[in-house]
Structure 1
Amino acid sequence: MTRTGSAPAVPVPVPATGAAAAGGARTARPWMDPRDLWTEALAGILARPVRSALTTLGTVLGITTLVITIGVASTAGNQIVGRFDALTATSVAVKVPAAPPGENGDGPLVRWSGTDAVRRLAGVESVAALADSAETNSVQVRSNDVNAPGDASGQTLAVVAASDGLPAAVRGTMTAGRFYDTGNIDRRDQVAVLGDQAAKLLGISRVEDAPAVFFQGQSYTVIGILGGIKRERRLSTAVILPPTVAADRLALRDVDLVLVNTAMGAARQVARQAPIALAPGHQDSLGVEAPPDLSKARDGVQSDVNGLFLVLGLVSLVVGAIGIANVTLVTVMERVGEIGLRRALGASRRQVAGQFLLESTTIGLLGGIVGAAAGITIVVCVAVVKQWTPVLDLGLAFGAPLAGALVGLLAGLYPSLRAARMEPVDALRAPS
């Protein structure tokens, strides 16, 4: 049956449920292109470029301060550690210059036996003498005397003469065999000791079967291999001969370097006494390399520490100046109406600029006073906790407020000039 005279049925929307509802909500939600979002953010930043620049500069200086603090502290720490390493050094080297012909008619400037006199000095732990020349720095050395085609057993090595105390003087160890002794030196035995790298180049790793090396028509029995050399590392690629044999076969007669190892703290004293023991009456002709003086090292460490904290303090001042400038600029922007009213009542540009400049200077002065007081208190507290003697620079304590005022003055220059450049009409029209 059909009813007449009634209103047509209107469909009633049924709220969607479940996933359909969620899908419908997501479809109706407005969506903004990331490029439009970036454009809006950039427009907001560029609307107040100076304030944005100051705010960004504060972040930049904060990160810069972090990097500088870590980097400068590490650099200064390394420098300070290096100075202490120099203080703990126990190595002394005496260089013997080549005497002109005829100057020392009674013999060489330093004799091989001079190491015995140095060894008797207080604080000396080991000593050795060395001799080499330009002619023996590049010698063709072979591990056999057969010249076969394609044979690669020959190497160009340095040949040096050394006294029997060389292993201890260079802080090395015998990795194979032994070092020659005074008996080998006195008998003029044609023996040799190879540096570990020289032995590797010549293919010699063992000395039990008495291998030999050949150069300049002579053979030398290898009795040991010296490795782990800490001083004069060039000796690791050298052939080392007894001084008597080197004098007879290679004309290496004159000592040109004396290596001395001392006990801790004795290096400076030994450095003064060793030339006298080696060449009495001619000690001024010898050159000495020794660790630095304790007083100079102390001054160097103090200078490094002061420089470190001076850099950190200057960076902190710059960060504070940026903060004052930023706050002053914000204050100027918030007081545009006040500035317009003062200008309309007859205040000059100079008076407006002076007002804000005085405000920033006062902020800096107060910060300097509070900072100096807080700094002195912290220094004293740290000294008490660490049981140190506090050392305070009164000049710095009294100068800190003036430095703070100067920082505030410089930081307020731009905001003050900006306030002074405002026209009264434009300032009064600006929203408060």
Structure 2
Amino acid sequence: MKRAAAATATRVERPWMDPRDLWTEALAGVLARPVRSALTTLGTVLGITTLVITIGVASTAGDQIVGRFDALTATSVTVKVPAMAPDAEDTGPLVEWSGTDAVRRLAGVDSVAAVGESATANSIQVRSNDVIAPGDTSAQTLAVVAASADLPAAVRGEMTAGRFYDAGNIARHDQVAVLGDQAAKLLGIRRVEDSPAVFFQGQSYTVVGILGGIKREQQLSAAVLLPPTTAADRVGLRTVSRFLVNTALGAARQVARQAPIALAPGHEDALTVVAPPDLSKARDGVQSDVNGLFLVLGLVSLVVGAIGIANVTLVTVMERVGEIGLRRALGASRRQVAQQFLLESTTIGLLGGIVGAALGIAVVVSVAAVKQWTPVLDLRLALGAPLAGALVGLLAGLYPSLRAARMEPVDALRAPS
């Protein structure tokens, strides 16, 4: 008798249910109320869609930002020259103005220019005429800079009027000048066809051109640019202070190592090189910052979806008290009841994850197509989004399923339907 009772108890209180039966019961529970299930799934869909969109768009935008950084900054190298030679006995300049030729021969160099500046020449009273009248305020305090003839290409600028002085002007020590566009505006000079002149320190200089659209060294837009020989004769700017080098994409690091040796063999350590940072680190930094910012928004949306699943699952448990009591009375264990509701919530989360991942990928590709960007999608994100939805559903259904499992059959059957 004891053995028969034990066998009967074992058959009634089976701890595990056939997975196919469990899945059938869970699917029937989800499909029993299709509208409610669809609305519940919508919360997870929105959460997963937001997560995929934010991370995908952030990665795509981060790659675009890095691309622009590559084009504008990662090709710029600056070599700074000290004012004094490292050897006390050497009275000559450390680097000559002709050093641009040596740098230009390096592989990967697109353009190079030499610039000479000094503290005394950074604030000179410049006038557009030589008539000084009482109360006249036409004089402007501008920087006077010596520059080699290839400066426009080095600063990525263009001549908006006239021309830049050439090698002939430099060789003849011509008293000519080129104005940055801001300096020309301050002095009221817009055209150079009539050979306007500027005056400072008792000397006149014929303006032959106006340089505008400067993208690099933008402070030169408010400067008066002189040929190196003229600047040495009239202003005392005899030495080079900086070399501005533009390189092909990817050649900046190599040029930064070779340029000091080409300019000052044996004294290359005396020169200071300013080179762009490593692009891979910059790319990782940009994408990490952007992803971190938008990931928070996606997670918030996902939490909202999880709360929706938990709320609806709990309401479903309350509505199915009679069903739960009947199943317990027919021999279903607490574990089997909990498994059924857990599987229902997990199925809703999984469906939401699949739909949300598909919608998110479609939005990312559409945004990239409209902006003419290259879409950047992490395959792990696309495959992991449905699993994330299932996990959200599983976690959201824990409390409702435990509450359903704790119901006693007698109390559940007596509860109003």
Normalised TM-score (structure 2): 0.67
1:153-196, Cα deviation, whole Å (9 max, x unpaired): 21121211111111222222223332222232233322211112
Name the residue aligned to 1:133: 118
- Superposition deviation, residue 94 in structure 1: 1.8
Change (3 A) 1:141 1:68: farther
Name the residue aligned to 1:124: 109
Name the residue aligned to 1:209: 194
Name the residue aligned to 1:144: 129
Correspondences of 1:11-410 after superposition (within 5 Å): 70=53, 72-88=55-71, 91-99=75-83, 103=87, 105-106=89-90, 107-291=92-276, 293=278, 296=281, 318=303, 321-322=306-307, 324-339=309-324, 357-363=338-344, 406-410=391-395
RMSD: 4.7
Q: Using the alignment, how far apart are the partners of 1:70 and 1:373 within structure 2?
A: 14
Change (3 A) 1:360 1:111: farther
Q: Using the alignment, how far apart are the partners of 2:50 and 2:331 within structure 1?
A: 49
SS in 2 for 1:206: coil
Change (3 A) 1:110 1:374: same
Change (3 A) 1:429 1:72: same
SS in 1 for 2:416: coil
Change (3 A) 1:320 1:356: farther
Q: Using the alignment, how far apart are the partners of 1:290 and 1:306 within structure 2?
A: 27
Q: Any gaps of 5 or more consecutive residues in structure 1?
A: 1-53, 376-390
**Residue 62 of structure 2 contacts residue 283 of structure 2 at CA under 8 Å; is this kept in 1?**
no
Change (3 A) 1:286 1:232: same
- Superposition deviation, residue 288 in structure 1: 3.4
1:99-153, Cα deviation, whole Å (9 max, x unpaired): 5676564233332111110112233232101122333222221111222134332
**Residue 75 of structure 2 contacts residue 248 of structure 2 at CA under 8 Å; is this kept in 1?**
no
Q: Using the alignment, how far apart are the partners of 1:356 and 1:99 within structure 2?
A: 84
Return 414-423 or 264-273, whichever deviates more: 414-423
SS in 2 for 1:247: helix
Change (3 A) 1:108 1:282: same
Q: Does 1:415 align with 2:400?
A: yes
Q: Using the alignment, how far apart are the partners of 1:286 and 1:359 within structure 2?
A: 74
**Residue 131 of structure 1 contacts residue 254 of structure 1 at CA under 8 Å; is this kept in 2?**
yes
- Superposition deviation, residue 257 in structure 1: 2.0
> Which amino acid is the alignment partner of residue 153 of structure 1?
S
Change (3 A) 1:261 1:187: same
Name the residue aligned to 1:39: none
Q: Using the alignment, how far apart are the partners of 1:198 and 1:116 within structure 2?
A: 29
**Residue 360 of structure 1 contacts residue 408 of structure 1 at CA under 8 Å; is this kept in 2?**
no
Q: Using the alignment, how far apart are the partners of 1:428 and 1:406 within structure 2?
A: 32
- Superposition deviation, residue 70 in structure 1: 4.8
1:387-426, Cα deviation, whole Å (9 max, x unpaired): xxxx987xx88x987x677544421233245547878887
Q: Using the alignment, how far apart are the partners of 1:373 and 1:197 within structure 2?
A: 57
Q: Using the alignment, how far apart are the partners of 1:282 and 1:367 within structure 2?
A: 71
Q: Using the alignment, how far apart are the partners of 2:355 and 2:49 within structure 1?
A: 22
Q: Using the alignment, how far apart are the partners of 1:122 and 1:346 within structure 2?
A: 83
**Residue 91 of structure 1 contacts residue 259 of structure 1 at CA under 8 Å; is this kept in 2?**
no
Change (3 A) 1:263 1:102: closer
1:231-280, Cα deviation, whole Å (9 max, x unpaired): 22221211001222323333323322211233455444333322221222
Query: What is the count of residue pairs matched by the alignment?
Result: 359
> Which amino acid is the alignment partner of residue 339 of structure 2?
L
Larger Rg: 1
SS in 2 for 1:274: helix
Q: Using the alignment, how far apart are the partners of 1:249 and 1:235 within structure 2?
A: 19
1:359-407, Cα deviation, whole Å (9 max, x unpaired): 34445777899999999xxxxxxxxxxxxxxx987xx88x987x67754
> Which amino acid is the alignment partner of residue 216 of structure 1?
Q
